[in-house]
């Protein structure tokens, strides 16, 4: 488990990935995303999670150019969008993302959603980009166990990461266990339930530990070994979300948060999406 804001976990190919990053979904391109990333870097974050479909890769690139922190100290993730899946289209989409970001390589490139009939070919494109050294690690997002099995059957490269919706109301234990068994790191999107944090158990624990409900939830993820990418555009919350290394949840309190699971999604089910 990571102990410090800049600690990393080792991916299955030996690459070190920060256990905490900033998510930038729905953060406007240009000054909003530049400001959020600058706040995050000041607070010690060293990872950014974007995607082609977020429409803010230009701004992410601008923030990376404007900081004094060297490129190789910041872990940049992007994702291939659904309309660009398939072998050739994925290669083109990767080039376009790099160009918008103004980067010569990515740290992590993910298949954004498991588009039926396409994701195995998309994965083949990612493995070629990886073998060419254009991306340091490759992975998937929104993959159920059966989607992961398709990739494991079809390819000799195991995804390094599976980024899925994961939080106390959808704790993804089955996927977490499968990923752990197969040496795939689980990364939580919407780790804060999109800000819907007003659950009595969380409010009670926040009082006990003198932390905020957001910090309680983020600490719970960390203690489960899950990588987190909370999103905020507010400097004080970006800081707050990184101040989770000075306390530890007891195993009884971990269990109490585990018990909140009700399979509730704030986003679409990967077995049933139409975009």
Q: Which residues are catalytic?
A: 54
138 is a site residue for ligand NDP (CB under 6 A): no
- Of all residues in the shown chain, the one whose CB is closest to ligand NDP is 23
205 contributes a contact to ligand NDP by CB under 6 A = no
Contact 134, 109 (CB under 8 A): no
Q: How far apart are CA 148 and CA 140, in angstroms?
A: 8
x/- mask, ligand NDP, residues 42-81, rule CB under 6 A, reads -------x--------------------------------
Tell whether residue 241 is a contact of ligand NDP (CB under 6 A): yes
Question: How far out from the chain centre does Cα 246 lie?
Answer: 23
- Strands 16-18 and 22-23 turn out to be unpaired
Q: How far is the CB of 24 from ligand NDP (least distance, A)?
A: 5
Among 59, 114, 139, 230, binds ligand NDP (CB under 6 A): 230
DSSP H or E stretch at residue 126: helix 119-131
DSSP string over 43-93: TT--EEE--GGGT-HHHHHHHHHHSSS-GGGSEEEEEE-GGG-SHHHHHHH
How big is the site for ligand NDP, counted in residues (CB under 6 A)? 28
141 touches ligand NDP by CB under 6 A? yes
Q: Sign of dihedral through CA atoms 129, 75, 197, 238?
A: negative
Q: Exposed, middle or buried, 272 (CB in 10 Å: 0-12/13-18/19+)?
A: exposed
Q: Does 23 bind ligand NDP (CB under 6 A)?
A: yes
Nearer to ligand NDP among residue 68 and residue 269 (C-beta) = 269
Contact status: 209 vs ligand NDP (CB under 6 A): no
Closest Cα to residue 109, out of 1, 128, 211? Answer: 128
Select the residue interacting with ligand NDP from 152, 169, 201, 233 (CB under 6 A): 233
Closest CB 229 distance from ligand NDP, rounded Å: 5
User: Does residue 195 belong to the site contacting ligand NDP (CB under 6 A)?
Assistant: yes
User: How far apart are CB 251 and ligand NDP at their closest, in Å?
Assistant: 24
Q: How far is the CB of 51 from ligand NDP (least distance, A)?
A: 7
Q: Cα separation of 103 and 81, whole Å?
A: 19
What are residue 228's phi and psi, to 5 degrees? -120, 145
Q: Which stretch binds ligand NDP (CB under 6 A): 39-47, 59-67, 81-89, 231-239?
A: 231-239
In the 8-state DSSP scheme, what is residue 195? G
Q: Of the ranges 122-130, 144-152, 236-244, 253-261, which one interacts with ligand NDP (CB under 6 A)?
A: 236-244
Q: What is the DSSP letter of 100?
A: H
**Beta carbon nearer to ligand NDP, 128 or 235:** 235
Q: How far is CA 168 from CA 49, 73, 199, 201, 202, in A?
A: 21, 31, 10, 11, 10
Binding segment (CB under 6 A) for ligand NDP, from list 114-122, 150-158, 201-209, 229-237: 229-237
Tell me which residues touch ligand NDP (CB under 6 A).
Answer: 23-25, 49, 112, 141-142, 163, 189-195, 197, 212, 214, 229-234, 237, 240-241, 267
């Amino acid at each position: 488990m990571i102990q410090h804001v800049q600690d990393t976990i080792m991916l299955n190919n030996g690459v070190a990935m920060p256990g905490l990053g900033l998510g930038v979904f729905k953060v406007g391109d240009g000054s909003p995303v530049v400001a959020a990333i600058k706040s995050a870097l000041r607070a010690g974050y060293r990872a950014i999670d974007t995607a082609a479909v977020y429409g803010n890769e230009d701004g992410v690139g601008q923030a990376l150019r404007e900081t004094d922190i060297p490129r190789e100290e910041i872990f940049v993730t992007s994702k291939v969008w659904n309309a660009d899946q398939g072998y050739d289209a994925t290669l083109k989409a990767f080039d376009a993302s790099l160009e918008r970001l103004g980067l010569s390589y990515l740290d992590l490139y993910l298949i954004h959603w498991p588009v039926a009939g396409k994701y195995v070919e998309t994965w083949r494109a990612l493995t070629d980009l990886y073998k060419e050294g254009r991306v340091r690690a490759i992975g998937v997002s929104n993959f159920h166990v059966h989607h992961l099995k398709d990739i494991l059957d079809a390819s000799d490269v195991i995804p390094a990461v599976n980024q899925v919706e994961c939080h106390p109301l959808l704790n993804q234990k089955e996927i977490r266990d499968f990923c752990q068994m197969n040496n795939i790191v689980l990364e939580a999107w919407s780790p804060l339930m999109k800000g819907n944090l007003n659950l009595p158990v969380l409010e009670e624990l926040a009082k006990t530990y003198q932390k905020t409900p957001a910090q309680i939830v983020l600490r719970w993820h960390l203690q489960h070994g899950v990588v987190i990418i909370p999103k905020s555009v507010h400097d004080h919350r970006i800081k707050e979300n990184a101040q989770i290394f000075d306390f530890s949840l007891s195993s009884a309190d971990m269990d109490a948060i585990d018990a909140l699971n009700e399979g509730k999604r704030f986003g679409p089910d990967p077995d049933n999406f139409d975009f």
